[in-house]
């Protein structure tokens, strides 16, 4: 079949208009992206980035975590990939009748046939995916999708349905008029062409050709103007995902930096702004957020989408350099109360299927408030002052840091070296285990376990300072770096090479952030250390510890550093201990509410996060909860006492293990 010259002219004009609309909008979006002031270089580790592109972009591994959404998105996504060749082939009929996409031949066998069959199958699957998506939005109606109106999503879904349906009908008409290539490889279209009583002649061929082309290129023009531009940008986002350890905050050069943090979108990097265009608005990040779940004014998804909308609104002025008087991010992106509500638990980043990075943006906004505006929650000022004066947020004299170890025969590193004792590992006690009464018991239990196992260890005692984690997550980079540099100087002076920490926050900071400041050590968490001692036969739990308990995953141990099994393996080795999992466990664990310096902030809005976590423990009907973090232990202790549930006992894994030795 051949289009008339007039039809070819009209088609050319239509393609030129729609492609121009698409191209102009894409040009503006890219121009706005690269007007960003923040520096970001993500061209390192190319093989790893290609792997991530394939795993998370092409095969959508994170999308598939929710099976229903994963199936429907896979059907639709693969339709875009596989039907790309059909788009070229059908559009070409306006200019080169009968032209076909060239395909390779292997051992004399052309791949054209399998390609046509794949197009037929994926077109049907895409139609099924559209049906599943409409059912999900209009019947199932999950709360996380109800943040938006249905119009945009419905328009896009019907575009897709129209495109794949018109493709099959066009192929059927092509077969009916006898111009189809390899009709035997198009069983679905052949079946449509053979429907009794239906005659698909030249008129229908033209009608379906025009329907398909009009829908396809109208959709192309529409996409950059809707939230569905993620079809283009999301897959790019996976290539440029952050490859630094999850717990690492970007180091700030305090001497060269003039404006700290961000309060305007153009101060972010192009990669941070790309998140906005990649966002699918699936709501998974907000659905996983403990602050949002307990009624706080924090909406991780809105941070991303409002950032995108602000960039679109202010983009022209930003490109011109005319930003004076424009509203800042605290007016257009997110409220300050919401930014302070974040526990930095990383659930939002973990759940995002397109690799958006919410937490670093929140920290940058906090840095601006603290370092540029001199603004922070009043109660945190006291905690920061105590860190400045006594190197710990409890405010107890720094010279008392080793008092917990009185009578245990634990040596400080300086004493051990003075007496020429060999040391295998430095035990980093941390502020909580040094000064909090409840966590001092954990430190004592761990020290006694190390002694029973014959581990040669020492502590820094009064020379140990806060690692800087609370100050850094609060946004006080000056104070954080003061603590970090002081500790690095001490550790390097003693030639420390191996550290074990009972606090995941200390563990994360020492392991992932200290290398940026010249402190490179082998850092292990006590759950790893204890598991290894048991495996090596240096510890043998034999006494029954009759506890029916559940395990609470610390965010900075689990989601940040991937240590989910190690603490559980310690519990499994203890005779008499029965472990039941909470509904929110492992990667989907629910924060205790203390991270991100929230330990030192009042929780005045909504339900307390630790109270919600206690309700998850109650659901298991366990009579105890174990954890591997001093902050979590404090928060769970507080919740049990406040909610009159002290019958639910609270332990660190080290305390339970010691009982069994």
What confidence tens digit (pLDDT) does each residue in 326-376 have? 999 999 999 999 999 999 999 999 999 999 999 999 999 999 999 999 999
Backbone angles phi, psi at 482, to 5 degrees: -65, -45
What is the three-class DSSP state of 396?
coil
Instruction: Tell whether the model's pLDDT for residue 147 goes beyond 80.
Output: no
Q: Quick one: average pLDDT of 181-192? A: 93
Question: What is the per-residue pLDDT for 474?
Answer: 97
Res. 196 pLDDT band, cuts 50 70 90:
confident
d(CA 435, CA 445): 15
Question: What is the per-residue pLDDT for 562?
Answer: 96
Q: Quick one: average pLDDT of 389-399? A: 96
Instruction: Tell whether the model's pLDDT for residue 146 goes beyond 90.
Output: no
Which domains are delineated in the chain?
A: 5-239 (1.20.950), 265-372 (1.10.1060.10), 390-531 (3.40.50.1860), 547-659 (3.40.50.10700)
What confidence tens digit (pLDDT) does each residue in 578-626 have? 999 999 999 999 999 999 999 999 999 999 999 999 999 999 999 999 9
426 has which bridge partners?
A: 458, 499
Instruction: Tell whether the model's pLDDT for residue 441 goes beyond 90.
Output: yes
Q: How many CA atoms does the CB half-sphere of 493 hold within 13 Å? A: 11
Instruction: Tell whether the model's pLDDT for residue 148 goes beyond 80.
Output: no
Residues in Cβ contact with 446 at an 8 Å cutoff, skipping those fewer than 6 apart: 427, 502, 526, 654
Chain Cα centroid distance, residue 535? 33
Instruction: Tell whether the model's pLDDT for residue 2 goes beyond 80.
Output: yes
Neighbours of 220 (CB within 10 A): 18
Res. 475 pLDDT band, cuts 50 70 90:
very high
Tokens linked to 647: 């019958």
Residues in Cβ contact with 9 at an 8 Å cutoff, skipping those fewer than 6 apart: none
d(CA 426, CA 497): 8
What confidence tens digit (pLDDT) does each residue in 231-278 have? 899 999 999 999 999 879 989 999 888 789 999 999 999 999 999 999
Pick the residue with more confidence: 567 or 321? 567
Instruction: Tell whether the model's pLDDT for residue 129 goes beyond 90.
Output: yes
What confidence tens digit (pLDDT) does each residue in 18-43 have? 999 999 999 999 999 999 988 888 89
Residues in Cβ contact with 249 at an 8 Å cutoff, skipping those fewer than 6 apart: 360, 363, 472, 473, 513
Exposure string of 269-298, with b = 16+ CB inside 10 Å and e = fewer, is bbbbbbbbbbbbbbbbbbbbbbbbbbebbb
Quote the crossing angle between the two packed helices 630-642 and 437-452, to the nearest 10°.
Answer: 130
What confidence tens digit (pLDDT) does each residue in 306-320 have? 999 999 999 999 999
Q: Quick one: average pLDDT of 568-579? A: 96
Instruction: Tell whether the model's pLDDT for residue 100 goes beyond 90.
Output: no
d(CA 195, CA 557): 61
Residues in Cβ contact with 114 at an 8 Å cutoff, skipping those fewer than 6 apart: 185
Looking at the chain, the whole-number percentage of residues with pLDDT higher than 70 is 100
Triad 523, 524, 525: Cα angle to 5°:
130
Chain Cα centroid distance, residue 60? 14
Residues 247/191, Cβ–Cβ less than 8 Å: no
Pick the residue with more confidence: 199 or 140? 140
Tokens linked to 417: 């070296």
Question: What is the per-residue pLDDT for 101?
Answer: 87
Instruction: Tell whether the model's pLDDT for residue 436 goes beyond 90.
Output: yes
Q: How many CA atoms does the CB half-sphere of 490 hold within 13 Å? A: 20
Question: What is the per-residue pLDDT for 76?
Answer: 94
Question: What is the per-residue pLDDT for 339?
Answer: 97
Q: Quick one: average pLDDT of 436-447? A: 97
Q: How many CA atoms does the CB half-sphere of 589 hold within 13 Å? A: 26
If you average pLDDT over every residue of the chain, what do you get? 94
Res. 12 pLDDT band, cuts 50 70 90:
very high
Alpha helices in 410-541 (DSSP H): 413-418, 430-435, 437-452, 469-474, 477-493, 504-508, 526-535
Question: What is the per-residue pLDDT for 107?
Answer: 81
Instruction: Tell whether the model's pLDDT for residue 110 goes beyond 90.
Output: no
Question: What is the per-residue pLDDT for 382?
Answer: 95
């Amino acid at each position: 079949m051949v289009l008339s010259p007039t039809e070819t002219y009209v088609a050319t004009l239509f393609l030129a208009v729609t492609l121009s609309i698409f191209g102009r909008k894409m040009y503006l979006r890219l121009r706005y992206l690269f007007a960003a002031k923040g520096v970001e270089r993500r061209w390192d580790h190319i093989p790893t980035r290609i792997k991530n592109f394939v795993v998370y972009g092409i095969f959508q591994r994170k999308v598939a975590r929710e099976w229903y959404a994963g199936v429907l998105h896979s059907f639709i996504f693969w339709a875009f990939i596989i039907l790309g060749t059909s788009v070229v082939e059908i559009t070409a009929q306006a200019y080169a009748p009968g032209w076909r996409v060239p395909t390779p031949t292997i051992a004399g066998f052309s791949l054209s046939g399998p390609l046509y069959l794949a197009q037929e199958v994926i077109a049907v699957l895409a139609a099924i995916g559209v049906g599943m998506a409409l059912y999900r939005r209009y019947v199932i109606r999950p709360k996380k999708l109800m943040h938006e109106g249905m119009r945009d999503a419905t328009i896009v879904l019907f575009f897709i349905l129209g495109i794949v349906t018109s493709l099959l009908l066009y192929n059927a008409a092509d077969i009916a008029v006898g111009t189809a290539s390899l009709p035997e490889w198009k069983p679905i279209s052949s079946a449509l062409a053979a429907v009794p009583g239906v005659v698909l002649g030249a008129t229908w061929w033209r009608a379906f050709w025009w329907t398909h082309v009009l829908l396809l290129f109208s959709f192309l023009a529409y996409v950059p103007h809707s939230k569905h531009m993620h079809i283009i940008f999301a897959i790019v986002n996976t290539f440029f995902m952050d490859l630094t350890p999850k717990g690492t905050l970007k180091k700030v050069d305090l001497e060269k930096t003039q404006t700290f943090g961000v309060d305007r979108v153009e101060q972010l990097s192009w990669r941070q702004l790309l998140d906005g265009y990649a966002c699918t608005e699936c709501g998974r990040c907000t659905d996983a957020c403990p602050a949002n779940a307990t009624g706080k004014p924090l909406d991780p998804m809105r941070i991303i989408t409002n950032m995108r909308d602000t960039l679109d609104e202010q983009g022209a002025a930003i490109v011109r350099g005319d930003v004076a008087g424009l509203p800042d991010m605290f007016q257009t992106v997110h409220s300050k109360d919401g930014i302070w509500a974040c526990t930095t638990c990383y659930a939002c980043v973990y759940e995002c299927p397109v690799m958006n990075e919410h937490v670093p943006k929140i920290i940058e906004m906090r840095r601006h408030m603290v370092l540029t505006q001199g603004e922070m929650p009043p109660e945190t000022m006291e905690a920061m002052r105590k860190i400045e004066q006594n190197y710990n947020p409890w405010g107890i004299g720094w010279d008392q840091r080793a008092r917990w170890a009185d009578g245990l025969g634990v040596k400080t590193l300086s004493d051990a070296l003075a007496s020429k004792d060999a040391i295998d590992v430095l035990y980093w006690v941390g502020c909580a285990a040094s000064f909090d009464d409840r966590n001092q018991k954990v430190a004592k239990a761990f020290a006694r376990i190390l002694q029973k196992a014959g581990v040669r260890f020492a502590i820094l005692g009064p020379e140990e300072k806060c690692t800087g984690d609370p100050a850094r997550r609060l946004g006080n980079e000056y104070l954080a770096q003061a603590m970090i540099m002081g500790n690095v100087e001490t550790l390097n002076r003693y030639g420390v090479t191996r550290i074990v920490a009972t606090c995941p926050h200390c563990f994360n900071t020492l392991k992932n952030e200290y290398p940026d400041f010249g402190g490179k050590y082998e850092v292990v968490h006590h759950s790893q250390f204890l598991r290894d001692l048991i495996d090596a036969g240096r510890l043998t739990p034999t006494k029954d510890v009759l506890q029916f308990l559940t395990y609470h995953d610390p965010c900075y141990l689990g989601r940040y550093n991937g240590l989910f099994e190690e603490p559980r393996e310690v519990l499994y080795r203890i005779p008499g201990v029965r472990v039941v999992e909470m509904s929110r466990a492992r990667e989907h664990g629910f924060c205790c509410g203390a991270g991100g310096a929230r330990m030192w902030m009042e929780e005045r809005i909504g339900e307390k996060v630790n109270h919600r976590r206690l309700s998850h423990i109650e659901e298991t009907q366990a009579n105890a909860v174990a954890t591997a973090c001093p902050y979590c232990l404090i928060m769970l202790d507080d919740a049990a006492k406040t909610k009159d549930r002290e019958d639910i006992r609270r332990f660190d894994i080290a305390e339970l293990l010691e009982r069994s030795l």
